[in-house]
Amino acid sequence: MNQDSKKKNAAEAAFDLIKPKLNKDTVLGIGTGSTTNFFIHALNSLNVEIKGAVCSSISSEKSLSSSLKILSLNEVHSIDFYIDGADEYNDRFELIKGGGGALTREKILASSSDKFICIVDDSKHVDLLGKFPLPIEVLEIARSAISRQLMKMGGKPVYRNNFKTDNGNQIIDVHNFPIQVPFELEEKLNNIPGVVENGIFSNRKADIIIKAKDTIIEVLER
């Protein structure tokens, strides 16, 4: 089974999991990326009655059916279910996210959700986070200064050319970054002046990971 088929299966399994719990007061959080796009397609294809959806990117907002109300986080008390993919996850349900550049809004929505459901294919599992370059959203004025700090910490920062986040900021992708203690590194990076957010999701882990393999779907809960 190819990777897109696995992503599609994981996304549809997530939809099947939450569908019985959806009602007219439900607020969904929708992430960003290729796997999440399959979830959006499943959501669009069925007539579900919910209060609306808060999206982590303009791209995801544009993909939603016009029959679904797009909400801002400021309009809602909380998000019932946040659905998103990941670039990596480990056995402690810690993640690296941000390959699509929406990591700041993704982390805000995940932190505002009652249940964070992460949908992945089996290639995303790692024992140690960091094989995938760690995205960090930064203010433009601080990009070079932050890059020098990251090099001192052992990483190889690479500026993501011709890319701006929906917040108007820039992305540095850090290669060869040893992430031995994700929680500590997440906080340390966010304390660097000019860093908006980084792609380590350790403080707010996934609650459920739905993993698609060749022949089965695994639903993992912590």
Determine the Cα–Cα distance for residues 69 and 146; give it in Å rounded to an integer.
39
Indicate if the alpha-carbon torsion angle 47, 50, 52, 54 is positive or negative.
Answer: negative
CA angle 109, 115, 116 (to 5 degrees): 55
Q: Given this model, what pLDDT does residue 1 score?
A: 74
pLDDT band at 48 (very low <50, low <70, confident <90, very high): confident
Q: Is the pLDDT of residue 12 over 90?
A: yes
Q: Given this model, what pLDDT does residue 109 score?
A: 98
Q: Given this model, what pLDDT does residue 118 score?
A: 98
Q: CATH number of the domain at 3-126+203-221, out of 3.40.50.1360, 3.40.50.1820, 3.90.1720.10, 3.30.70.2740? A: 3.40.50.1360
Q: Among the options 106, 137, 186, 197, which is catalytic?
A: 106
Q: Is the pLDDT of residue 98 over 90?
A: yes
Residue ranges per structural domain of the chain: 3-126+203-221, 134-199
β-partners of residue 156 are: 175
Q: Is the pLDDT of residue 45 over 90?
A: no
CATH superfamily of 134-199: ACT domain (3.30.70.260)
Q: Given this model, what pLDDT does residue 117 score?
A: 98
- Spell out the residues 6+ positions from residue 141 whose beta carbon is closer than 8 angstroms to its own: 194
Q: Closest by alpha carbon to 91, among 127, 130, 134, 132?
A: 127
Higher pLDDT, 147 or 3: 147
Q: Given this model, what pLDDT does residue 6 score?
A: 94
Instruction: Using a pLDDT cut of 90, give the percent of the chain over it.
Output: 92
Q: What is the DSSP string of 128-177?
A: STTSSPEEEEE-GGGHHHHHHHHHHTT-EEEE-TT---TTS-EEEEEES-
Write down the H helix ranges in the chain. 3-18, 34-45, 58-63, 103-111, 143-152, 182-190
pLDDT digits (tens, 9 = 90+) for 166-185: 999 999 999 999 899 999 99
Mean per-residue pLDDT for 41-47?
88
- Spell out the residues 6+ positions from residue 161 whose beta carbon is closer than 8 angstroms to its own: none
Mean per-residue pLDDT for 110-136?
97
Q: Given this model, what pLDDT does residue 178 score?
A: 80
Q: Given this model, what pLDDT does residue 18 score?
A: 96
Mean pLDDT for the chain?
96
pLDDT digits (tens, 9 = 90+) for 185-202: 999 999 999 999 999 999
42 three-class SS: helix
Determine the Cα–Cα distance for residues 193 and 213; give it in Å rounded to an integer.
41
Q: Is the pLDDT of residue 120 over 80?
A: yes
Determine the Cα–Cα distance for residues 160 and 90; give it in Å rounded to an integer.
25
187 as an active site residue: the answer is no
Q: Which two tokens stand for residue 36?
A: 């999440």
CA distances from 39 to 8, 9, 75, 182 (A): 7, 9, 23, 28
Q: What is the pTM (predicted TM-score) of this model?
A: 0.95
